[in-house]
């Protein structure tokens, strides 16, 4: 060790000894009422209420309408609620959603991997969590875990709440019991957030995760295909509310279920409410968080059931043509081309020009895959026929239609003059690599027509 480092270490030890000596000479600070002596703990984790944590758990459980579940390593609060089948959630009664989630529901249609077991409908558990933040890592915990399932005809909701992080082991044990009885886990964006975070917490406590062998279905991807991604390119005005374009669960419950929350706690406010509870033991700030989580669970079950009902009933059950386009896409991905064609053909009758154009483009691609080339060309012609005669640039779909028609009339219909007209349209509209390809096609057509040849 160098001389400089030894001098620095000596100085630090000297400062510490001086501080300890001064502390011994000073009278002890008066204790706060009800507080034991000892080191002050971080208030983020331990509420400074003047009472033991066990008392705070019992008090919070009483105020929140739950019970304390004790384990050797700690305790959490379990809160049970039951929604009866004749209660309404949006446009349907809760019992109707159960009927749509029966064993013959086409759940495999939404999951290309099709890993669902035959008995998946025996105990479907809907799962949603509220956390101390979205940053991830070992410091993020789920202070509220909500599970729900259909118990008979009723919808049972069980929530596990942490009155302090010391009870996380108890929460994980109770959650494991729920998952052990489940035959399918359903989440909304849970594949990328909820389940990985909980698996991290189980690993943090050196426990195996009960989700390892549990089939998991995430409703967010099929919801985006049905209701989310299709709407965004159709919006042309800037005054459309962002919530209308969103595919969040709260947006879907409004647009799909017809359910509107009143006085809901915003998601960004939830971690702050929990930290406020930890500092003050004020359970009233948690009641709104519990309601928010319950609404999420019930809406998740309802949106999942509604999607299954749509897939089973077919495109005639859709409320709007854009939904028929999304349903056709699900059928197409699942290999059911007959129902996909039906959905696209119905959507192609829409009064909205953009929806009709999108449906015809989807239909044309599908018909071409089935070697129905003339029908595909007719669909592409319908797309291009909706181009506005205003001198504006064609949309991406319209340019794609012009290219497809140029190819069809050159190589299949052998109508070179028509193929050249579409190629000329492309040359006037395309840019970059597309413009180069269009010019090459036009030159080739000109050579063919001048020589009277039809080589392919």
Give the tens place of pLDDT for each residue, 243-261.
344 689 999 999 999 999 9
39-53, 338-352, 428-442, range with greatest mean pLDDT: 338-352
Weakest mean pLDDT among 238-247, 309-318, 435-444: 238-247
Please give the Cα distance from 88 to 80 (Å, whole number).
19
Domain ranges of the chain: 45-234+242-312, 314-386, 389-456
**Parallel, antiparallel or unpaired: strands 74-83 and 67-71:** antiparallel
The fraction of the chain above a pLDDT of 90, given in percent, is: 57
Looking at per-residue pLDDT, the higher value among 32 and 160 belongs to 160
Distance of CA 336 to the CA centre of its chain: 25
Which band of pLDDT confidence, cut at 50, 70 and 90, is reported for residue 407? very high
* pLDDT of the residue at 138: 66
Looking at per-residue pLDDT, the higher value among 146 and 42 belongs to 146
Which band of pLDDT confidence, cut at 50, 70 and 90, is reported for residue 45? very low
Work out the mean pLDDT of the chain and round it to a whole number: 83
Please give the Cα distance from 398 to 221 (Å, whole number).
28
Is pLDDT of 35 > 90? no
Which band of pLDDT confidence, cut at 50, 70 and 90, is reported for residue 12? very low
Strands (E), 176-302: 184-187, 216-218
* pLDDT of the residue at 37: 47
* pLDDT of the residue at 107: 74
Give the tens place of pLDDT for each residue, 90-136. 999 999 999 888 767 677 777 766 667 788 888 999 999 999 986 66
CB 147 within 8 A of CB 126: yes
* pLDDT of the residue at 54: 64
* pLDDT of the residue at 385: 87
Q: Residue 3 to residues 15, 151, 214, 317: CA-CA distances in angstroms?
A: 19, 74, 62, 84
* pLDDT of the residue at 363: 96
Strands (E), 336-399: none
Give the tens place of pLDDT for each residue, 161-200. 999 988 999 999 999 999 999 999 999 999 999 999 999 9
* pLDDT of the residue at 289: 97
CB 210 within 8 A of CB 195: no
Is pLDDT of 449 > 60? yes
Architecture of the domain spanning 314-386: Alpha Horseshoe (1.25)
SS3 helix, strand, coil % of the chain, rounded to 5? 55, 10, 35
Which band of pLDDT confidence, cut at 50, 70 and 90, is reported for residue 241? very low
- What would you report as the CA-atom Rg of the chain, rounded to the nearest whole angstrom? 31
Which band of pLDDT confidence, cut at 50, 70 and 90, is reported for residue 388? low
Weakest mean pLDDT among 212-226, 233-247, 253-267: 233-247
* pLDDT of the residue at 88: 96
* pLDDT of the residue at 44: 39
Would you call 327 helix, strand, or coil by DSSP?
helix
Please give the Cα distance from 157 to 170 (Å, whole number).
18
* pLDDT of the residue at 53: 58
Please give the Cα distance from 181 to 214 (Å, whole number).
10
* pLDDT of the residue at 87: 96
Is pLDDT of 318 > 60? yes
Residues with Cβ within 8 Å of 265's Cβ and at least 6 positions away in sequence, in order, are 273, 288, 289, 291, 292
Is pLDDT of 1 > 60? no
Give the tokens for residue 344.
Answer: 């696209």
Is pLDDT of 364 > 80? yes
- Calculate mean pLDDT across residues 75-86: 96
Q: In what order do the strands lie in the sheet with 154-161?
A: 67-71, 74-83, 154-161, 142-151, 124-131, 184-187, 216-218
The fraction of the chain above a pLDDT of 70, given in percent, is: 79
- What kind and span of H or E run contains 128? strand 124-131
Half-sphere exposure of 455 (CA within 13 A, CB side): 6
In DSSP notation, 199-217 reads HHHHHHTT---TTTTS-EE
* pLDDT of the residue at 380: 95
What is the DSSP secondary structure assignment for residue 167, as one 8-state letter? Answer: G
Please give the Cα distance from 33 to 30 (Å, whole number).
9
CB 106 within 8 A of CB 136: no
The hierarchical CATH code for the domain 45-234+242-312 is 3.30.420
Give the tokens for residue 87.
Answer: 């209660």
Looking at per-residue pLDDT, the higher value among 318 and 108 belongs to 318
């Amino acid at each position: 060790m160098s001389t400089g480092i030894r001098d620095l270490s000596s100085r630090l030890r000297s400062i510490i000894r001086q501080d300890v000596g001064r502390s011994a000479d000073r009278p002890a600070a008066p204790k706060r009422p009800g507080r034991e002596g000892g080191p002050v703990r971080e208030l983020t984790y331990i509420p400074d209420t003047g009472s033991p944590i066990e008392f705070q758990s019992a008090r919070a459980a009483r105020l929140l309408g739950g019970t304390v579940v004790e384990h050797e390593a700690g305790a959490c609060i379990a809160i049970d609620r039951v929604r009866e089948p004749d209660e309404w959630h949006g446009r349907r009664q809760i019992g109707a959603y159960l009927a749509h989630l029966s064993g013959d529901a086409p759940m495999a249609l939404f999951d290309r991997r099709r890993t669902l077991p035959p008995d998946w409908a025996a105990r479907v558990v809907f799962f949603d969590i509220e956390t101390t933040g979205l940053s991830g890592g070992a410091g993020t915990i789920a202070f509220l875990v909500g599970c729900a399932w259909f118990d008979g005809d009723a919808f049972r909701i069980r929530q596990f709440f942490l009155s302090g992080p010391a009870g996380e082991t108890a929460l994980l044990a109770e959650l494991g019991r729920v998952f052990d009885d489940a035959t399918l886990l359903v989440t909304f964006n849970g594949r990328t957030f909820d389940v990985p975070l909980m698996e991290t917490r189980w690993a943090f406590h050196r426990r195996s995760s009960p989700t390892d062998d549990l089939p998991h279905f995430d409703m967010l991807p099929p919801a985006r295909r049905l209701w989310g991604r299709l709407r965004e390119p159709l919006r042309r005005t800037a005054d459309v509310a962002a919530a209308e374009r969103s595919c969040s669960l709260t947006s879907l419950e409004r647009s799909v279920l017809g359910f509107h929350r009143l006085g809901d706690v915003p998601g960004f406010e939830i971690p702050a409410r929990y930290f406020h509870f930890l500092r003050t033991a004020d359970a009233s700030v948690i009641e709104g968080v519990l309601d928010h989580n319950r609404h999420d669970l019930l809406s998740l079950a309802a949106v999942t059931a509604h999607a299954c009902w749509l897939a089973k009933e077919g495109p005639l059950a859709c409320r709007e043509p854009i939904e028929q386009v999304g349903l056709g896409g699900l059928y197409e991905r699942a290999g059911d081309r007959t129902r996909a064609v039906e959905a696209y053909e119905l959507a192609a009758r829409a009064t909205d020009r953009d929806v009709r154009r999108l449906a015809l483009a989807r239909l044309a691609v599908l018909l071409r895959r089935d070697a129905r080339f003339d029908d595909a060309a007719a669909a592409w012609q319908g797309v291009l026929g909706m181009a506005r005669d205003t001198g504006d640039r064609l949309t991406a779909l319209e340019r794609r239609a012009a290219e497809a028609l140029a190819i069809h009339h050159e190589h299949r219909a052998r109508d070179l003059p028509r193929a050249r007209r579409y190629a000329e349209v492309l040359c006037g509209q395309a840019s970059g690599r597309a413009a180069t390809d269009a010019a090459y096609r036009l030159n080739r057509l000109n050579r063919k027509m001048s020589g009277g040849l039809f080589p392919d």
